[in-house]
Structure 1
Amino acid sequence: MTPKKEDYLKIIFELGGRKQQVSNKQIAMSLNIAAGSVTEMVNKLVKEGLATHTPYAGISLTEEGVKVAEKLVRRHRLWETFLVEKLNYKLQDVHSDAEVLEHVTSDNLMDHLEKFLGYPDHCPHGGVIPDKLGHYEEESHLTLADTKDGSEIVVDRFIDNHELLAYLADIDIKIGDQLEVLEHAPFEGPIKLRFKESGEETSIGHKAAHYIFVKAF
């Protein structure tokens, strides 16, 4: 399987494609590619029995696609955890090297790495890490963009995207932050937020808000 195909499986999984349908637009935005180029790869995944595609609705992973994605996600996120926790990588800089390492790692090395790290169940950007048997907690798929004004939320995870993570580092939004949603500006404007602990206010761009997953508290 090509690295490009693996990237598609991982992002569909990350966007919720295990249980719901994901749009071409979501995939394109997350991978920073043109929406038109998604169709060809989706057709290949469907032909190989790894995904299903419903016109005008979206893409979801088949049972086989989920199994493959879980294995890929486990490898990638364990390496991300190692690079951040043990080698002090910045979160926004970790993806590309984890991508290289996951493709040259044996199952035996993966098991030893997992043990060395203390069997982590989440990576540094909040994503679940399946264990070797495919067990993991269900992720939140509520995006910041879908929240209502006045709701109180906690930041659960971020999509693994370099530009997004660099942007969030600049405005100092982290996993576990508790926020109050103050206002969704009209015409796809920014979302105004208040930190519950400090009372300080900040804003998140409309596009970025689609790739920040949150939970109510």
Structure 2
Amino acid sequence: MKKLTPKKEDYLKIIFELGGKQRKVSNKQIAEGLSVAAGSVTEMVAKLVTEGLVEHTPYAGISLTAAGIEIAENLIRRHRLWETFLVSKLNYKLQDVHDDAEVLEHATSENLVMHLDQFLEHPKRCPHGGMIPRADSQYVEESYDLLVDAQDGETKTVDRFVDNHELLTYLDEIDLDIDDELKIKEHVPFQGPVKVELVRTGEELNISYNAAHYIFVK
């Protein structure tokens, strides 16, 4: 696998998470997903384009090339296996798992990845709902339907969250989990919250406009 800096790897992973294997994602989505300035995204995307790892179409967005997809899948596999281990075996809180999984993924040989996968009995999804690519790169594609795009009156199931510490802390605070059913009540105008009913409790939640862009539903 091509050797990249950790920052470049983070960009490939977030582009992948946001759907950049199949569609264009925006600078703004990447910036908010990584909690970095928009100017930093522009600069890094230009470098990744030069290296043949992403494609950037002005006014349309950014997507991964075949080479970028291969690297991102490998990184995502390692990262999400470690997240699964840390949460399921060491009782990490979901919002606290990312940084240690990041360290571990970079220190993991292919042999260790294989044994970790076997030890965990080949999990298909990580704790925040993301699919885990198999060693042969086969997997069920993730959902790319966003909560913010759901129509008022629809009922949706939470499928996954983007792996972002601030987002996951926020979702823990409002007690929103993977596989929760949500009845969409109202999109408050002018970038207001998405009002939903949490079916399992009957509680009404006001999910922030920004968070609703990083919650995938089906």
Secondary structure of residue in 2 paired with 1:53: strand
The C-alpha deviation readout for 1:98-138, integer Å capped at 9, x for no partner, is 00000010000000000000000100000010010101111
Secondary structure of residue in 1 paired with 2:183: strand
Q: Aligned pair 1:135/2:115, yes or no?
A: no
In the alignment of these two chains, the number of paired residues is 215
Alpha-carbon separation, structure 2, partners of 1:194 and 1:93: 27
Counterparts in 2 of 1:1-217, with a 5 A limit? 1-215=4-218
Secondary structure of residue in 2 paired with 1:133: coil
Tell me the amino acid that sits aligned with residue 192 of structure 1. Answer: K
Tell me the amino acid that sits aligned with residue 40 of structure 1. Answer: E
Q: 1:186 Cα shift?
A: 0.6
Alpha-carbon separation, structure 1, partners of 2:171 and 2:200: 18
Tell me the amino acid that sits aligned with residue 116 of structure 2. Answer: L
Alpha-carbon separation, structure 2, partners of 1:107 and 1:199: 46
Q: What 5-or-longer segments of structure 2 have no aligned partner?
A: none
Q: What 5-or-longer segments of structure 1 have no aligned partner?
A: none
Alpha-carbon separation, structure 1, partners of 2:163 and 2:200: 26
The C-alpha deviation readout for 1:71-102, integer Å capped at 9, x for no partner, is 00000000000000000000000000000000
Alpha-carbon separation, structure 1, partners of 2:195 and 2:173: 16
Percentage of matched positions with identical amino acids: 66
Tell me the amino acid that sits aligned with residue 55 of structure 2. Answer: T
CA RMSD of aligned residues (A): 0.6
Secondary structure of residue in 1 paired with 2:210: helix
Tell me the amino acid that sits aligned with residue 2 of structure 1. Answer: T
Alpha-carbon separation, structure 2, partners of 1:58 and 1:214: 22
TM-score w.r.t. structure 2 length? 0.98
Q: 1:198 Cα shift?
A: 2.6
Greater shift, 196-205 or 177-186, is seen at 196-205
Alpha-carbon separation, structure 2, partners of 1:198 and 1:24: 36
Secondary structure of residue in 2 paired with 1:168: helix
Structure 1 stretches of at least 4 aligned residues deviating more than 2 Å after TM superposition: none
TM-score w.r.t. structure 1 length? 0.98
Alpha-carbon separation, structure 1, partners of 2:25 and 2:203: 34
The C-alpha deviation readout for 1:157-184, integer Å capped at 9, x for no partner, is 0000000000000000000001100000
Q: 1:197 Cα shift?
A: 2.8
